[in-house]
Amino acid sequence: LVKSDLTLDPAPTDLSLNTFTFESSEINLFLNGIKEILTVDTGVVDWSAVDIPDSPLNIGIQKPLITFEKEKNTSTRSNILDVALNGEYKYIVRTDGVDIHTADMNTTITTSITNAKKITMFGTKVYVATDTDHKIKGYTIGANGSLIPVTGDDTEIGASITNITMTNEYVYVVISGEKIQIQTWKIELDGSLNLKGERDLANADKIVINPAGTYAYVTTDTTGTTLYEYTITNGTLDDNPTEQTVAVTHLVVTDTYIYTIDTTSGVTIYKTGLTQVVSISSLTNAKYIAVDLSGRIYVSTTDGYIHFYRLTETNTIDTGRSYNTGVGINTLTGLYTDEKNVWITSGINLKKYIRFCL
Query: Three-class SS string for the chain?
Result: CEECCEEEECCCCEECCCEEECCCCEEEEEECCEEEEEECCCCEEEHHHCCCCCCHHHCCCCCEEEEEEEEECCCCCCCCCEEEEECCEEEEEECCEEEEEECCCCCEEEEECCCEEEEEEECCEEEEEECCCCEEEEEEECCCCCEEECCCCCEECCCEEEEEEECCCEEEEEEECCCCEEEEEEECCCCCEEEEEEEECCCEEEEEECCCCCEEEEEECCCCCEEEEEEEECCEECCCCEEEECCEEEEEECCCEEEEEECCCEEEEEECCCEEEEEECCCCCEEEEEECCCCEEEEEECCCEEEEEEECCCCCEEEEEEEECCCCCCCCCEEEECCCEEEEEECCEEEEEEEEEC
**317 and 259 Cβ atoms separated by less than 8 Å:** no
Q: What's the pLDDT score for residue 72? A: 57
Q: What's the pLDDT score for residue 71? A: 60
**274 and 242 Cβ atoms separated by less than 8 Å:** yes
Q: What's the pLDDT score for residue 261? A: 94
Amino acid in the structure at residue 209: I
Q: List the chain pLDDT tens, one digit each, 358 residues.
A: 333 334 444 444 443 333 344 444 444 444 334 334 444 444 444 444 444 333 333 333 334 455 555 565 554 678 889 999 887 788 999 888 898 887 667 677 888 898 999 999 999 999 999 998 999 999 999 888 899 999 988 999 989 999 999 999 999 999 987 778 899 999 999 999 999 999 998 889 999 999 999 999 999 887 778 999 999 999 999 999 999 999 999 999 999 999 999 988 889 999 999 999 999 877 888 999 999 877 889 999 998 888 888 888 888 888 777 888 878 777 888 999 887 778 888 888 888 776 654 3
Backbone angles phi, psi at 328, to 5 degrees: 95, 165
**Minimal CA–CA distance to 52: which of 66, 71, 67, 65?**
65
Peptide bond into 10 cis (omega under 30): yes
Backbone angles phi, psi at 47, to 5 degrees: -65, -35
Rg (Cα) of the chain, in Å, rounded? 21
Model's pTM, two decimal places? Answer: 0.80
What is the torsion angle, in degrees rounded to the nearest 10, for the CA atoms of residue 305, residue 310, residue 315 and residue 317? -40
Print burial letters for 212-235: b (CB count within 10 Å at least 16), e (below 16).
ebebbbbbbbeebbbbbbbebeeb
Amino acid in the structure at residue 350: L
Q: What's the pLDDT score for residue 28? A: 44
Strand pairing report for 26-31 and 19-21: unpaired
